[in-house]
Amino acid sequence: LKPTWPALFPELARLHEWVGFSDLDVVYGDLDGEIARLQEGDELLVPAGMYPQPLANGNLMLFRSTHKLLHAWERIPGWRTALADPRYRALDEWWGVRPSFSDILYDMTLDGNLVARPTARPLLVD
């Protein structure tokens, strides 16, 4: 459910220019520096090792707190069915329901509807 989290808490998301999620076993380094080097039109920051594909992953994903990105997961066909199903359907960042959130972001990039940037430095991940 990671892709839905920022949209589920709009009162928190609107307080920040960038929102996202990550794993617990990531050494971020200078995350402020990574964000500061982004340009005004950049909308998504992903680890350099995950760029250009997959754009969404559990290690780290930060995106601008805009309606387009907070609700990009709603482009996943069948998301309502997945959320309503009492069984675990894995509406996740890169696996489970297809197309995945990563597939959606990649398609948005190819269509010119999303500007993604990799981190300048690699992240350390366990």
CB atoms within 10 A of CB 16: 12
* pLDDT (tens place) for every residue of the chain, 126 residues total: 888 988 999 999 999 999 988 888 888 888 899 999 999 999 999 888 878 877 777 788 899 999 999 999 999 998 888 888 888 777 777 777 788 888 899 999 999 999 999 998 877 665
Predicted TM-score (pTM) of the model is 0.85
Length of the chain: 126
87-114 as b/e: b if 16+ CB within 10 A = eebebbbbeebeebbbbbbbebbeeeeb
Helix, strand, or coil here: 100? coil
